[in-house]
Structure 1
Amino acid sequence: MNAYANAPASPTRVDQDMLERAISYLCALLDGHAGGVEITGIDDTGVVDVAFTRACEACPNLPMTFVSTVRNTLLEVPGVTDVRSSNVHASAPVLNRIARALGAKPVTPVNPAD
């Protein structure tokens, strides 16, 4: 299944070829754990929204996978400025503690109060 196929077209300068390769790489990794990820949107500023599927939806390690693997990989794509997921139910401070512990990039809070 190509998780990138249903993503809306992006008016940004996100490198679409590299984004497709990155999401394919992530899908292969997560498939090894019966999980999945797909792009659900890209906004004008390069923020990519992802949804986790299959086993990832109920995984207690989802925040760690999001911060250390999915987010870090997608942020390497030229034009991607941030990565978000409505599946991740953790505050920005919690995600930043995870990022620091795992050597990942810090998370930008969606809400400045976070």
Structure 2
Amino acid sequence: MIKIRPIPAALLYILGSILLGPTIFLAGYFITPANGDFCDIGAHGSRAQRDRDYALIDTIQTTGAIVMLMLGALALAYLWRDLRRIGWLPTGVLSGGILIMASGYLLILSAALYGNPSC
């Protein structure tokens, strides 16, 4: 059994983010009828339906990114809490990996919150 548990938690976050980041970003677009084309009203049926579809995309991306950022912060805190047992080098490398993945979720969050499509 692994006695140093923060390392698997950090690795799980880092490796899981490679799949979950693009999935969160693309999930909303694949469930809309127009597959991401904001200006095409015909694929949505009406302007109101188009606006609802894109509100759903924003909700999926915002919620997914916030949840993953919180999990990253928890993994980072858990890692730094056991710094004495783990050592500086593994803690630094894993912290860097967590921060790189978290920056990707910040990018998704900024795209979801500040993206105002216009035709």
TM-score tier by shorter-chain length is under 0.3
Greater RCO, CA 8 A, separation 6+: 2
Q: Give the TM-score, by structure 1 length.
A: 0.27
Q: More helix per residue: 1 or 2?
A: 2
Return the structure number with greater strand share.
1
> TM-score, structure 2 length as denominator?
0.26
Which has the higher Rg, Structure 1 or Structure 2? Answer: 2
